[in-house]
């Protein structure tokens, strides 16, 4: 299983994945154009990857084949924009579990039906 969160990415006009999803784009408070529903990996599937090792982000290289225990912590940083600070009075994040076959899932609209929300305690 791979764990992560759905997030918005800054639109890159030369990125084919972004162009494909341009019809869903939105604008942030800052004015940046964003592509929604990207899957940002926090903890990749623990397995041997079947593609060239050098294309993995360096943060993934360190945790490839890592044994995960209940006490091991994995973190990634995210940010939110808002017009008013009152919008930050309550904030929740939903961790998703990807149960598909893609070693590096990227988009919510690809391989649909294999994402599940992880219950938070």
Q: Three-state secondary structure along 41-99?
A: EEECCCCCCCCCHHHCCHHHHHHCCCCCCCCCCCCCCCCCCCCCHHHHCCCCCCCEEEC
Most confident option among 31-35, 43-47, 48-52, 77-81: 31-35
Q: Token pair for residue 100?
A: 């598909």
Where does the pLDDT of residue 50 fall: very low under 50, low under 70, confident under 90, or very high at 90 and above? Answer: very low
Domain that holds residue 84: 2-117
Q: What is the pLDDT of residue 33?
A: 97
pTM of the entire structure?
A: 0.72
pLDDT at 46: 61
pLDDT in tens, 76-113: 777 677 777 777 777 777 889 999 888 889 999 998 88
The total number of structural domains that make up the chain: 1
């Amino acid at each position: 299983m791979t764990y992560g969160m759905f997030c918005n990415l800054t639109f890159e006009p030369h990125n084919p994945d972004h162009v494909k999803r341009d019809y869903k784009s939105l604008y942030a408070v800052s004015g940046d154009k964003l592509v929604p529903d990207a899957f940002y990996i926090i903890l990749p599937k623990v397995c041997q990857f079947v593609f060239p090792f050098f294309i993995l982000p360096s943060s993934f290289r360190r945790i490839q084949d890592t044994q995960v225990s209940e006490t091991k912590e994995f973190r990634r940083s995210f940010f939110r924009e808002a017009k008013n600070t009152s919008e930050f009075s309550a904030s929740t994040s939903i961790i998703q579990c990807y149960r598909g076959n893609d070693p590096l899932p990227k988009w919510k609209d690809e391989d649909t039906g294999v994402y599940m929300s992880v219950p938070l305690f």
